[in-house]
Amino acid sequence: MSKVPAAYQATRGSVLDVDRAFYSRLTDPAARERVDSLVVPIREGRAWQVPAGHVMRLTTLEGPQVGDLNLWSRHNPRERFWASRTRQLQRAHVSTFDRLWSTLPYLRPMATIIDDSLAGYGVDGSGVDEQGGRIHDLLGTRCDPYVNRLLTGEDFDHHCHSNLVRAVLPHGLTEFDVHDVLNVFQCTGLNEDDQYFMKACPARQGDYLELFAEIDLLCALSCCPGGDLSVELWGPNAGDPLLTCHPIGVEVFRLDPELLSGWRSPGYAPYRGGHGLHGPSIDWATEKRCVAERHEGRNGERSV
């Protein structure tokens, strides 16, 4: 791997400079209470809410399984997970102490990864991957029925894109709100021709990823119809991966308030300019807050 320095680097005290001691304390199982749980069935999607200051845990319940994760601000779905900027600010495969960032003009941490049972895979001596694959992928995106139709000439309604669409409809969202994902438990990389590859998921029963909600979240997860991706989905060797599919468990935990002493939900990006446009002065912070309040007023707690 190249040793060229990363383009985006944290300065001391910036929002990229994560307080590792604080987030490490949040993993104490004795200082949390489970307040919600659900199971995402094979080849399906589910959506749920996570209040700010809570932890959500995703677990491979029965065996290896890839999941496609979307995040929105619960009060304003225009603010949603931004996979490409997260890839730039953090890395192409995220793990402990990496943050998941929201879209412009909000640009703030939505969640911080606090624990990952596969953190060493493909990075240190305990998890060497001969092809350079790594876990929790931001290089690719969700599978969808549109590409599948182009590649195979067939329609299939349980791609991750479709699963996510069905999952968010009861929360007042539509297909237009589904966005690029974090592929949890997915092993990917780039080959010598700079092409994207996927490998069989190395997760085993009981592997997990934990995220701390920095803001009130609406989350949706699809259990990929490709299962653990050990079976090729397209091309001359394609097969049916149904037997490699497993459910993913979701748990939400309330933390001991003492653990959160001094923490507060991050505000919007502090940019106050008008993009060089001339005209009436615009208070962007107030504008963004009003958008969120209008959306919450239209939908109430029933939706997002």
pLDDT tens digit string along 199-248? 999 999 999 999 999 999 999 999 999 999 998 877 788 778 899 999 99
HEC assignment per residue over 246-265: CCEEEEEEEECHHHHCCCCC
Which pLDDT belongs to residue 303?
Answer: 37
Residues in the chain, pLDDT under 50: 301-304
Give the model's pLDDT for residue 238. Answer: 78
Q: Into how many domains does the chain fold?
A: 1
Give domain status of residue 218, yes or no.
yes
Give me the domain span that covers residue 46: 20-300
Residues contacting 216, CB < 8 A, separation 6+ = 49, 50, 51, 52, 73, 74, 75
Query: What local confidence, expressed as pLDDT, does residue 129 receive?
Result: 79
Q: What element of type H or E holds 223?
A: strand 217-223
Residue 8 forms part of a structural domain: no
Judge whether 11 lies within some domain: no
What are the helix (H) ranges across 10-90? 20-25, 83-89
What pLDDT, on the 0 to 100 scale, is given for residue 7?
Answer: 86
What is the rounded distance in angstroms from the CA atom of residue 281 to the CA atom of residue 287?
11
Please give the pLDDT value at position 38. 98
- Given a contact cutoff of 8 angstroms between Cβ atoms, the answer to whether 78 and 163 are in contact is no
Asked, for residue 95, whether it belongs to a domain, the answer is yes
- Whether 126 is covered by a domain: the verdict is yes
- Supply 214's token pair: 């920095």
Evaluate whether residue 2 is within a structural domain. Answer: no
Residue 66: Cβ within 10 Å count: 30
Helices (H), the chain: 20-25, 83-89, 145-152, 160-168, 284-299
Q: Angle at which helices 145-152 and 160-168 pack, to 10 degrees?
A: 150
The answer to the question of residue 239 being in a domain is yes
In a domain, 256, yes or no: yes
**Which residue type occupies 248?**
I
